[in-house]
Structure 1
Amino acid sequence: MNHRVEAGVRGPGPSWRGRSAVALMLGVWIASAAATAPPAWGQAVPDREAATVRLLTVGNSFSRDATRFLGDVVAAQGDALVHHSAAIPGGTLAQHCEKQAIHAENPEDPRGLYDRTGRSLAQELRDGPWDFITVQQASIRSHDVSTYRPFAERLVGILRRGAPGARVVVHETWAYRIDDPRFDPAVQSAPGQPTDQEAMYGGLAGAYRTIARELEAPLIPVGDAFHLADADPAWGYKPDPAFDLAGAAYPVLPNQKHSLHVGRKWSKDEDGTYRMVMDGHHANVAGQYLGALVFYESLYGRSAVGCRFRPNGINAEYARFLQETAHKAVEALKGTEFEVKSKIAAPASASR
């Protein structure tokens, strides 16, 4: 779906000790951000010229999740957005390359088109000029840097040739929820697979940085922001110890307060019965909001702390925490090779 201003469509857990250690290290990286005094909640956006960003996201449901509320955040900040999405459900870097190759060989082949738009990547690139084009790996493979090669370089080559004026940016996706079945200690993990959320985050954070460095591309640290939020002692999600999963009956659900992921929900089968399902992968409203805040700060170079927009179900206090978390994640990359250099010229005070 392509649009202006609005954003695009869309068991016991592991040990917490590793999470605290990495959170401490990340805290060191973001220490400099503490010196920046954010505005009070609801403070009016400073008088300044509205900035417009033209964004093409090449990804999957995770790119749609991370930009679902981007248009709302942008509008609330007094700026503008043109956003097109080229997404494959569960899509990998390799699949985007394959789709482009099919279209190049036969433009009439529907396999070379994106399902939601009926358009090819080449068509999207011609719809520019684009300021930024984002790429990402499928979440299930995000921890394994070998799965990015050679497809990341191949895809980025296609993007840079098709839109030479655009800046390619790597979208760092997030780890699964701490109680996702992937991390079930009763299930033997395949060699090389992360056994808990901390291992998945560590793997994907390292892989995305390695590939971004190889591509000479900056990074949108959505995964870092999720990790910071989940590791927060007060605001981080914690599995409900009182919930009896084996004995659960519709419509009872566990306490999933402060979850950034969809989590457990009831699904109705064709025979009318309900079964509990778990989605520890995709972002819920809070996670989608956090992703949008990180995208905004990264691409516009302006702070989202104090943004007046917050989705339904997110109270002011929680929204403020998510805004500050996004700000910390983006500030941590300032002055590094992974910082997104915004094309928007604005005085420093305008981003506070």
Structure 2
Amino acid sequence: MKYIKTSVLLLLLSLITGLSFGQTSPKSLRLFIIGNSFSQNASAYLSNFAKEKGTELIVGRAELAGHSLEQHWGYVEAAEANPEDPKGKPYKGNKSLRMLLSAGTWDVVTLQQASYLSADKESYNPYAQKLYDYIKKIQPNARIIIHQTWAYRSDALKFGRVAPNQLAKNQTEMWEKSRAAYHALAKQLNAKIMPVGDAFYAVASDKVFGFKKDPAFDYENPVYPNLPNQENSINMGYYWKDKKIVFDPNHANEAGRYLGGLIWYAILFNESPSKIEYVPKNVPADFAVYLKTVAEKTIKNLNTSK
């Protein structure tokens, strides 16, 4: 019930204040994603949203687990030096980035940094700029949008790097410094940003809805199939696999993927996320309403801060 009460208030607030979404949105979109598992998480429900709205969405992907901007650019260099070099064709189907980008005309191409490096501003360049220039040579009319990834859950054992040999002390520092780095990159490239990281932190830091570590669970001696209380988590957290407990405070769970997708859809299609009706089956309906209000407020904050 707490979701419903707060969500109704937030929805009323959003209706009163209004948001700056355009009058028209594209009826079809060809989207190409350069990233890793975090971009896969955030875009997981895009096709569901597009189908609901009767929009044609075609998605191309150059995604490799844990990969950074530097690693993606390294593959480009290998392929450009020798198109037959297997090192330059690491993507699905043994394809190079040039081969994938050249498959038709792409309306939007997204870029992101690996989450572990996202709070280290110096890790972005020169690789982001080189990738941007490379994309523009192949797809000169494509809009390039920056995907701002999120900080790890508050109970993570370690957080992303903020400088060589220095890690963020906590979730807040990782979010603050990754946000600053992403916005600096967006300004450098004159590119729009998808503020998924801001939306995640808004949920995580909410006094009512923010995740709180379960103090009653025995983390040192877990007993199958018991799990800690992880209410309101938007990260995977603890789960059992083959009767072994796994802890993943980094990747998004179903609710986190839903929240990330709402931000992506709002930016890509210039539509209010509050209009999305689809809800994944593992996300409680009332919590989904709350996540839509967070997405809407995050987009509003992005628009008003320009």
SS state of the match for residue 289, structure 2? Answer: helix
Aligned ranges for residues 70-219 of structure 1 at < 5 Å? 70-182=46-158, 191-219=165-193
2:42 maps to 66
- Note closer, same or farther for the CA distance 1:255–1:34 as it changes in structure 2 (3 Å cut): farther
Superposed, 1:13-52 pairs within 5 Å as: 35-36=17-18, 51-52=27-28
The Cα of 1:32 is off from its aligned counterpart by: 8.4
Contact 1:102/1:111 (<8 A) preserved = yes
C-alpha distance in 1 between matches for 2:15 and 2:78: 46
Corresponding residue of 1:231: 205
Cα distance in 1 for residues equivalent to 2:282 and 2:261: 16
* CA spacing shift, 1:336–1:142, aligned 2, 3 Å: same
Measured in 2, the distance between the counterparts of 1:160 and 1:336 equals: 27
- CA–CA distance in 1 between the matches of 2:51 and 2:272? 14
Alignment partner of 1:318 is 2:294: no
Aligned to 2:272: 303
SS at match of 2:76: helix
Deviation at 1:126, TM superposition (A): 1.2
Q: What's the CA shift string for 1:35-78, capped at 9, x where partnerless? A: 028xxxxxxxxxx9871111101001111110011110121123
Give yes or no for contact 2:236–2:248 (8 Å, CA) kept in 1: yes
Shift of 1:176: 0.2
- Partner Cα separation in structure 2 for residue 114 and residue 300 of structure 1: 30
Secondary structure of residue in 1 paired with 2:57: strand
**Residues 34 and 325 of structure 1, relative CA distance in 2, 3 Å threshold:** farther
Is the alpha carbon distance of 1:267 and 1:32 closer, same or farther for their aligned partners in structure 2, counting shifts above 3 Å? closer
* Structure 1: unaligned runs, 5 residues or longer: 1-30, 38-47, 184-188, 269-273, 338-352
Quick one: distance in 1 between partners of 2:303 and 2:61?
27
| Cα offset, 1:117, TM superposition | 3.6
Q: How far is 1:306 from its partner?
A: 3.5
Q: Does 1:257 align with 2:226?
A: no
Structure 1: which amino acid aligns with 2:54?
G
User: Could you tell me how far apart the structure 2 residues matched to 1:295 and 1:140 are?
Assistant: 21
Counterpart of 1:204 in structure 2: which amino acid? S
1:321-336 alignment runs, 5 A limit: 321-334=290-303, 336=305
In 2: Cα distance, 1:34 partner to 1:281 partner: 35
Unaligned runs of 5+ in 2: 1-12
Q: Is the 8 A contact 1:69 1:292 kept in 2?
A: yes
1:220 aligns with 2:202: no
Task: State yes or no: 1:277 paired with 2:254.
Answer: no
Q: Identity of counterpart residues, as a percentage? A: 36
Q: Residues 197, 122 of structure 1: CA spacing in aligned structure 2 closer, same or farther, 3 A cutoff? A: same
Amino acid at match of 1:286: A
How far apart, CA to CA, are the structure 2 residues paired with 1:278 and 1:213? 36
Displacement of 1:302: 0.5
Distance in 2, matches of 1:202 and 1:235, equals: 20
Shift in alpha-carbon separation, 1:33–1:199, aligned structure 2, 3 A: farther
C-alpha offsets along residues 183-208 of structure 1, whole Å, 9 cap, x if unaligned? 5xxxxx98531010001000100010
Are the structure 2 counterparts of residues 50 and 220 from structure 1 closer, same or farther at C-alpha, using a change threshold of 3 Å? Answer: closer
Aligned partners of 2:93, 2:60: CA distance in 1, in Å? 10
Q: Which runs of 4+ in 1 moved over 4 A?
A: 31-34
Where does residue 290 of structure 1 map in the other structure?
259
| Contact 1:128/1:163 (8 A) holds in 2 | no
Q: Which has the higher helix share?
A: 2
CA 1:306–1:233 in structure 2 vs 1: closer, same or farther (change >3 Å)?
A: farther
Q: Distance in 2 between matches of 1:117 and 1:71?
A: 22
- Which residue type is aligned with residue 272 of structure 2? S
Post-superposition offset of 1:109: 2.0
Per-residue displacement from partner, 1:206-262 (whole Å, max 9, x unpaired)? 010111111111101010110111122222211111111112111111011111111
* Cα 1:153–1:116 shift into 2, 3 Å: same
Deviation, 1:130, is 1.3
1:330 Cα deviation (Å)? Answer: 1.4
| Structure 2 match to 1:42 | none
Residue deviations 1:103-132 (CA, integer Å, cap 9, x gap): 112222222123434221111211231111
